[in-house]
Amino acid sequence: MRVAVTGGGGFLGSHLCEALLRRGDSVVCLDNFSTGDPENIAPLLAHPAFEFQHVDVSVSVQVAGRVDAVAHLASPASPPDYLRHPLETLAVGSRGTENALRLALRHSARFVLASTSEIYGDPLVHPQEETYWGNVNSIGPRSVYDEAKRYAEAVSAAYHRTHGVDVGIARIFNTYGPRMRPHDGRVVSSFITQALTGEPLTIYGDGGQTRSFCYVDDLVRGLVALLDASDMGPFNLGNPVERTVSELASLVLEMTGSSSEVQHHPLPVDDPVRRRPVITRAREVLGWEPEIDITEGLRRTVAYFGAHADRLAASASAIRGGQDATVPPAAATPAPFKPQTIPGPAGAATGVASPAPGAPVAGG
C-alpha cells in the first residue's frame, strides 16, 4: 500500500510513517515543519520506500503516482502552538482537510482524519462516547483548534456522503512518547522537562482535573488499524484509564528522581475538567486497545528526553511558570537540520530543509 501522510514530520506523523514502512508500505510524507521537526524523519530519508514533500497542505496537496490511502495528521496540536498560530490552525483544518480529501477522491483512496478529543470540549458527559456532540465554546481561545477539527469531521463526512470517499475518523485523546518537543506545552512533556531540569512542575488549577494518557505506539497501532478498515466511525482512540494531573506529576517525579517542587497556577480558559474515552467501538470494529501502561510508557519517554539534554536546556525557559491561555510561551529553537536530497516521485529530487524562522505556514 502507498500512503500519503500529511503532517508526517510531526510527533504522531513520524511514528506513523515509521510503522507503515516497517510493515512494508510505501510512504509519501508531506510537511512544512511549522510544528514538526526534520529530525523526526531524518532516519527515514534513506529508505527506498519513503518520499518527502516540503509543502503547506492548506495551500495544495499533489502526489504523483498511485495513492492507496491518505492519513491527514497535519495540524498544530498543542495549545501553545495553535494559540500562536490561530489562523494557520483554522486553515489546515479547513482548506488543508479539503485538499487532502480531494487527493483521496482523485485516487479512490481510503482517507483517515486525525481528529481529537477536543471536539468534545469541556464535556458535560463522562466518560465520552462517540455519540456525544460536545460542549465547545465556539469563540473562545481554544476554538481555533476545536472548531477546525469539528469542521474537518464535517467536511470529511460530507465527502463520504456526496462523493463516496472511503473515510475513517479517529478522535485522538492525550498521547505521549518519544519525539514530543520539550517546549510544546503538553502536560507530559512539560512535567518531564521541568523535572529533569530542576524547574518547578506547573499544575494548572488544583490538579484534580483528569486526562487519559495513551502511549504513542499504541495510538499508532490504532491509526494503522483504521487505515486498514472500511468503517467511518468516528472512533475514540485513547487510553480509558483516567488519572488526575496531580497523580501524573507524582509519577514523573518518582520516575525521574527529581526534587522539583510543584507550583499551582490558574486554570486556562475552557480547559476541560475531565477527559476519558469510551473505546468499545474501537475494540469491537478495529480489534484495538492500548497495551502499554503508563509506568512503562513514561519510562521510555523519560529515557528519550534524558538523551536530549541540549533540547531540554533550551526549552526550560519557554515553559517556566504559569502561562495565560491567551499568551502562549515562546517556542524554543530546534536543533539545526542540514538540508538533504532524497528520491521523489518518478525519480525527481526533493530538498528537505527547515522553514524560515517565523514563517506563517501550517503542517506537522
Q: Check if 145 is active-site.
A: yes
Cell of 152: 474537518
DSSP 150: H
- 210-211 and 243-244: which strand pairing? antiparallel
131-142 as b/e: b if 16+ CB within 10 A? ebebebeeebbb
C-alpha distances out from residue 235 to 68, 130, 182, 222, 288, Å: 21, 7, 29, 9, 10
User: How many whole angstroms separate alpha carbon 156 and alpha carbon 353?
Assistant: 31
How buried is residue 147: exposed, middle or buried, by Cβ count under 10 Å (0-12/13-18/19+)? buried
Q: In what helix (H) or strand (E) does residue 28 lie, and over which residues does it extend?
A: strand 26-31
Q: What is the side-by-side order of every strand in the sheet holding 26-31?
A: 50-54, 26-31, 2-6, 69-72, 110-116, 166-172, 235-237
245, 209 Cβ separation under 8 angstroms: yes
Catalytic residue among 82, 120, 132, 145: 145
SS3 174: coil
244, 210 Cβ separation under 8 angstroms: yes
- 262-265 and 340-343: which strand pairing? unpaired
Catalytic residues: 145
